[in-house]
């Protein structure tokens, strides 16, 4: 787990934007996972947002960025499928005690995993951004992300599946 050295920005789940365009960002924390066969996945925390980049032999195949303040991007959809890419998102609003419990469970579940990155902000242990690979294979990669917003009691969760071979042929 990474304690970020930046203050938590007062953002909300409904301000998240989504883009598949290659956007250059400097992550606050990241984990790169080598899947073999030349595939790597970089899971990056951008604050209360994230970016995932899938590469084959250092050539980017996919950029998924979900963040506040992205220009020329779409609101985070509940569902999107195109080619070999599929995204689902859900926003849950919880009472403060339940949010704290869920954030704690998330951090504990991902602790020590080399295929995940978990970051929290100083001043509020329940302000967490986490990403984890869920299923890996040569033909499909699945990852999940969680963004907690204690000030609004929200947890924004996403699940993405990506089939690199199918998308390359499209």
Q: Which residues contact 169 (CB under 8 A, 6 or more apart)?
A: none
Separation of CA 105 from chain center = 17
Kindly report each contact of residues 5-9 with a partner whose C-beta sits within 8 Å and lies 24 or more positions away, as own/partner: 5/122, 6/47, 6/121, 7/121, 7/122, 7/123, 8/48, 8/121, 8/122, 8/123, 8/124, 8/127, 9/47, 9/48, 9/68
102 half-sphere exposure, CB direction, 13 A CA radius = 22
Instruction: Print pLDDT tens along the chain (170 aa).
Output: 554 455 555 566 778 999 999 998 889 899 999 988 888 999 999 877 899 999 999 899 999 999 987 878 899 999 999 989 999 999 999 999 999 999 999 999 999 999 999 988 777 889 899 999 997 766 789 999 999 999 899 999 999 999 986 444 33
| pLDDT of res. 123 | 77
Q: CA torsion 163→164→169→170, rounded to 10°?
A: 60
Enumerate the domain spans of the chain: 2-169
């Amino acid at each position: 787990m990474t304690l970020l050295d930046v203050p938590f920005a007062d953002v909300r789940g409904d301000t998240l934007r989504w883009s598949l365009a290659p956007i250059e960002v400097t992550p606050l924390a990241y984990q790169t996972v080598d899947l073999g066969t030349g595939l790597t996945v970089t899971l990056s925390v951008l604050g209360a947002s994230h970016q995932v980049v899938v590469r084959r032999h250092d050539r980017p195949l996919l950029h998924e960025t979900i963040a506040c303040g992205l220009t020329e991007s779409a609101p985070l959809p509940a569902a999107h499928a195109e080619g070999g890419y599929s995204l689902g998102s859900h926003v849950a609003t919880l009472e403060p005690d339940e949010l704290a419990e869920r954030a704690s469970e998330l951090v504990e579940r991902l602790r020590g995993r080399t295929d995940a990155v978990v970051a929290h902000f100083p001043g509020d242990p329940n302000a967490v951004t986490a990403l984890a690979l869920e299923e890996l294979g040569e033909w499909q990669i699945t990852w999940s992300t969680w963004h907690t917003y204690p000030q609004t009691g929200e947890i924004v969760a996403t699940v993405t599946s990506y089939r690199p071979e199918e998308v390359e042929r499209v």
